[in-house]
Chains A and B, each alone.
Chain A
């Protein structure tokens, strides 16, 4: 499913006490002794541009699911993509060396943070992997006509 990527400020953003730094070191740092129960907020989104270092469709490192390690201008960033089936259903493959643009934001994850992707763009193809409220999507969110016809035969 191709989406129109909306313009998102590339600059780092701050919201409340949570600093949004796209460095790997920042992701490892506990945000505070009190764990956040934070949800996704599009007003905090940033655009991350870089090169794929490694793609893991089924990481067992929390948050489990698809992760991609991106080499950006400010260091390596571990990006959580959610459900790898969404990329599969959209025939978007991520391989080492691919140039990608990812729209997302840092979310609290346990005592640290993770960069949560909402939209992944490779070349001219962009795929939404999270909903507008930041919940990982399933392939149901991007059914093509052919896929709908195939599912119509399910018994």
Chain B
């Protein structure tokens, strides 16, 4: 979580303490699937968001990285560049001079990027296609250990220029403001030859939001980075440039004309996120809404990390079939229905809207602002007003129209990539946890699979490490419903990880967007975590 989600032994000791089961050694079956080294070929833009501890630090700090690397299809990395923002302290345009990677048949693999400044950074990954995948930072050396979850996406349409970013984009930037407070910015802007004239945004900075969600206009620019030591080549080859949006400076990477990714570089802020092209299918008015929507937001409440995950049906201006699950710093609250519901689209700013519904057992209604990039997909920000003063939390995430239902064993089948991130408490230590894995689903059971899990332990640098190659089994339970939750029945998921004979099961609630994509978050039966993630089908 968010980020979501941001806080705090030896990995072997932790695993032993957390798990039950007997002894023995786990031997993973040989991975099977369609992937090989040649599945990772081309230039990919990547981003991760997590934590870092250095050899001289008393504790760990928030870390985000964005960059680009070129894979040769044969296990080699030939070039690249990355930018780092560690709690507002930036290191920019670090050249990637080489490296290596592996890809197993199941799409899982490793990635090592050698840096021109010396040293290397390491990742565990799983491909969702030859166009990209999910990854976690697994860097662990004598000077720093870092973790974080993210993804990598094949860059297309190069060589890039500033004008490659053209048209309207919907964005979600989240992280920390310059004082270390939680910050979330969602909005949209139009770019034309590097000029951003028509941007609007909704910001929740440290809980400061207007009583009624009101977008703020802004302007900006996108440009080549004149200070980049690699000159214009980094823009042309890797899509790297600099931007100023509403007074905040960023580096950006052009993934394609349809996606840009941003990392802030000014004011001591640490904001990271993507901007996705807005197409002409966005609904013109609220009457055009006719879909079930799944959503997930993660961030920070007054109690700590928070995740809200759920779904609703929008039929014109009518909102029905509301389900929400909230994990507020370990306090789990299910919302089984919504009253006083409403949804509206902004007549001035295309794709922007608000949705509200009230849990009868809660004192105030949930309110969210969303920006749609298509008829059904977009970004969403929690702007729920507290009973007293400001927002209840600072959280944002994704919203997706549900398609392909009913979800059942007939269409939720095949191989899936999986990633989760958040906070885990193990053996008296609380710290970030990142997970990346792959599993085969058959008859709604994870029949085979494997995963890396990094339970970051930042008290001591030398005790930080990743658990690689855990066996993964488990199940998806649609609970007799159709999987959308429109019948009031939540779907759940259990993931059992086994390493060296020790097994542990993490339980989730899961909301499907389609048979190819689901959002999930852990439930009260796995109360030592505040984690959330995605399940994404492989081809």
Interface residues of A (CB under 8 A from B): 15-16, 33-41, 56-58, 60-66, 80, 82-85, 88-89, 91, 107, 109-110, 114, 116, 130-143, 146-148, 150-155
Contact = CB atoms under 8 A, between A and B. Distances in A.
Contact of A37 (B117, B121, B304, B362): B362
Contacts of A57: 8, 428-430
Nearest to B6: A138
B198 interface: no
A34 B394 CA distance: 22
A85 B484 CA distance: 39
A35 B333 CA distance: 10
B94 interface: yes
B303 interface: yes
B49 to A, nearest CB: 13
Given A34-B362, A60-B425, A85 B207 contact: no
B7 A85 contact: yes
Interface string B278-310: 000000000000000000000011111100000
Interface in B180-237: 180-182, 206-208
Interface string B357-398: 000011110000000000000000000101111111110000
B429 A65 contact: no
Interface stretch (B83-91, B102-110, B502-510, B515-523): B83-91
Interface residues on B, range: 35 or more
Given A63-B328, A147-B61, A58 B54 contact: no
Contacts of B88: 140, 143
B206 A140 contact: no
B302 A64 contact: no
B331 interface: yes
Contacts of B146: 154
A153 B9 CA distance: 25
A137 B331 contact: no
B56 A63 contact: no
Given A39-B389, A134-B302, A152-B89, A109 B331 contact: yes
A96 B237 CA distance: 58
A154 B48 CA distance: 14
A152 B458 CA distance: 18
B329 A155 contact: no
Given A34-B361, A35-B362, A131-B181, A154 B91 contact: yes
Interface string B330-367: 11010000000000000000000000000001111000
Contact of A136 (B300, B333, B387): B300
Interface in B86-129: 86-89, 91, 94, 115, 117, 119, 121
B364 to A, nearest CB: 5
A39 B115 contact: no
B314 interface: no
Contacts of B12: none
Nearest to A154: B86
A147 B428 CA distance: 26
* Pairs A-B, 8 closest by C-beta atoms: A141-B180, A62-B330, A140-B87, A63-B329, A63-B303, A58-B430, A39-B386, A133-B207
A137 B181 contact: yes
10 contacts: A35-B361, A37-B362, A39-B388, A65-B329, A82-B304, A83-B8, A134-B302, A140-B62, A150-B54, A155-B119
